[in-house]
Structure 1
Amino acid sequence: MSSPSTTAPSASWWRADVHQDRRPFLLARNRITKAFRAWFDAQGFEEVETAALQVSPGAEAHLHAFATEALTTAGEVSPLYLHTSPEFACKKLLAAGEEKIFSLSKVWRNRERGPLHHPEFTMLEWYRARAPYQVLMDDCAALLALAAETAGTRRFDFRGMICDPFATPERLTVAQAFSRHAGVDLLASVAADGTTDRDALAAAARDVGIRVAEDDGWADVFSRIIVEKVEPRLGEGRPTILCEYPISEAALARPKADDPRVAERFELYACGVELANAFGELTDAAEQRRRFEIEMDEKARVYGERHPIDEDFLAALEHMPEASGSALGFDRLVLLATGARRIEDVLWTPVA
């Protein structure tokens, strides 16, 4: 599909000339939506709708939510949030007995706006009870190819990078990616029990030209190396599945059975764009609480705020079966499949 020129700001998306430029992308979006629903139906999944209003929007340090409040008829106030993901609700459905579910949900994330970020966007999430997380790698590859086929393209082309969406994705561990693209031995800074050595990683980062601030923690340095050295090289030529994240960077994932330093977490990349984030799901409620508290302590340190912990979610986790789940940024995938240049080009009504 050709890429029309769309440079007008989102405030004028309703102008007829702007809409006509964007319309081919939007119609392709509809076709991809229908194709994905048909794919999940053929795989035996049930589509679920989750409530957008939640008592907790998530418990990750660097995710920011939109807050609101509910009023009773007596005027009593209860704080609520627009969810940043349908994850907690979907896992409660797994605890309730659902086996294979997917959701195409609107989600909201604050402090995010740019060519690949929008405050309101669509998240495709799917969960398989009693399935290893490697199965989700195959799911991701199938959905990438289906999006390209439905949009009528043979390749993704974004920011000077080309990716073949029909090629078998490369599987690369985070440690391998740090070594290959940054020249850093990542696991040298991770102990056998998963604890991290900030000074060791900071020294390695400085050696390869990464700026490190005095108050940066291990996670800050890790993120800076990923963003500056690793992500721009992923998904070039063919998709990349970046797997086995350090356990400290996978708050909702279970440890890898043969190496507790790393977790059953992977991300899918094409043309340097992160498309999906998947886990072998953690089902230990006590461990999940501990990780949530660590995340909220970090959020308080960096941003001076905390989100409440969803106690109902932790209670449901006690009943949830072993499962694997993935979250895919649907708008980003549509952007790559259609040849759009920015996320607003593939949203029917962008936020002003």
Structure 2
Amino acid sequence: MSGGAVLSLRHERLRRRAEMLARLRSFFAGRGFLEVETPTVDAEIIPELHIEPFAVGDASNQQALGFLQASPELHMKRLLCEGLPAIFQVTRSFRHGERGAIHNPEFTMVEWYRAGDDMAAGMTLLDELCQAVAGATAATRTSYAEAFRTHVAVDAHRATCEELAATARRLNTAVPEGIHADDRDEWLNLLLANVVEPQLGADRPEILYDYPGSQSALAVTATRADGTHVGERFELYWRGIELANGYHELTDAAALRARLEEVNRQRAADGRPALPLPEQLLAAMIDPGLPACSGCALGFDRLAMLACGADSIDDVMTFSW
């Protein structure tokens, strides 16, 4: 392909991306959502086990100012506590050390929350958005347990670490050095990433839901009729790529604090620094309180990549790192 043809294709994809953003804003406006903007840098952050934030400092006096936010979640939830019932945001988010065909350290995230929604309503809204913005067909819904039964032939909620390790060997899954042999979530994530995820959403978008409670720190937990303890978390996959992560949001400040403290303990055990807790959010969750709600975060660059038939998010970004 000539240089001119490459440039023309690039510009066409950028136009399609802009059209998708316009449809996205129209989608939310039609449902009564208010678009908001929240800080990109803050001294507080929501600690996550597998996400490393960028620290921001003042070069003139070596003073730390805070962190580039990996998500606008803590600020958007504070707005929900103030009484805004339905909000969305299109923002730049930052995650250290993530680079590849579907990763860039700086990327566009779309995040939204609506008071009164449970997990089912959250999944429906996500499905409708994907159809309206990307022209996708209606998504199928598959429980986490069902996905593991179908693609791995194992009971994800009850299998022991030894059984999960044996399953990884049976499926010729490469086991990374340093994996904690007694950590079920590490084995589940290994099988999910290497065996299950590549098969999700092959023909149409697919929403995975009812994750293990141990993998859903920010979600309401529930016990299903068969006794399975789950976190009411849902993720959208399309053509084997994860696009969105949502929760029936935890509203109990004390429970959230305990879960985030546990994340920091796990980070310390892995030799990584603990991160400051979102104290202003935790206080707002007590008074005036966080209403029952569902929230979701969508990687917009990935959605644009799939809608445009591109091979990398670089192809639908103006400039990547």
Do they fold alike, i.e. is TM over 0.5?
A: yes
- State yes or no: 1:279 paired with 2:267: no
Match among 55, 80, 86 for residue 67 of structure 1:
55
Q: Which residue of 1 aligns with 2:31?
A: 43
Task: State the 1:301 CA deviation.
Answer: 2.4
Structure-to-structure mapping, 1:55-134, within 5 angstroms: 55-69=43-57, 77-134=63-120
Q: Is the 8 A contact 1:239 1:268 kept in 2?
A: yes
Task: State the 1:209 CA deviation.
Answer: 3.8
Task: State the 1:214 CA deviation.
Answer: 6.7
- State yes or no: 1:297 paired with 2:260: no
Structure-to-structure mapping, 1:7-22, within 5 angstroms: 19-22=7-10
Match among 28, 36, 53 for residue 41 of structure 2:
53
Distance change (3 Å), C-alpha of 1:214 and 1:77: closer
Give the whole-Å Cα distance in 2 for the aligned partners of 1:17 and 1:209: 42
Q: Which residue of 1 aligns with 2:123?
A: 137
Select between 210-219 and 342-351 the one with higher mean Cα deviation.
Answer: 210-219
Q: Which residue of 1 aligns with 2:231?
A: 263
Residue identity opposite 1:304 in structure 2:
R
Task: State the 1:115 CA deviation.
Answer: 0.5
Q: Is the 8 A contact 2:179 2:186 kept in 1?
A: no
Deviations along 1:100-135, whole A, 9 cap, x unmatched? 000001000111000000110011111010111211
Q: Is the 8 A contact 1:202 1:218 kept in 2?
A: no
Give the whole-Å Cα distance in 1 for the aligned partners of 2:49 and 2:218: 13
Q: Secondary structure at the match of 1:107?
A: strand
Deviations along 1:200-240, whole A, 9 cap, x unmatched? 53344445444555742222111101011100110011211
Task: Name structure 2 gaps, 5 residues minimum.
Answer: none
TM-score, normalization by structure 1: 0.83
Distance change (3 Å), C-alpha of 1:182 and 1:46: same
Give the whole-Å Cα distance in 1 for the aligned partners of 2:154 and 2:173: 11
- State yes or no: 1:245 paired with 2:211: yes
Q: CA RMSD in A?
A: 2.2
Q: Which residue of 2 aligns with 1:24?
A: 12
Q: Is the 8 A contact 1:82 1:107 kept in 2?
A: yes
The percent of aligned pairs where both chains have the same amino acid is 37
Deviations along 1:245-284, whole A, 9 cap, x unmatched? 0011011001025456101100001100101101000011
Give the whole-Å Cα distance in 2 for the aligned partners of 1:254 and 1:124: 22
Give the whole-Å Cα distance in 2 for the aligned partners of 1:277 and 1:253: 11
Task: State the 1:198 CA deviation.
Answer: 3.8
Give the whole-Å Cα distance in 1 for the aligned partners of 2:316 and 2:267: 32
- State yes or no: 1:232 paired with 2:222: no
Q: Secondary structure at the match of 1:345?
A: helix
- State yes or no: 1:170 paired with 2:158: no
Task: Name structure 1 gaps, 5 residues minimum.
Answer: 7-14, 150-164, 190-196
Give the whole-Å Cα distance in 2 for the aligned partners of 1:205 and 1:107: 33
Aligned residues: 314
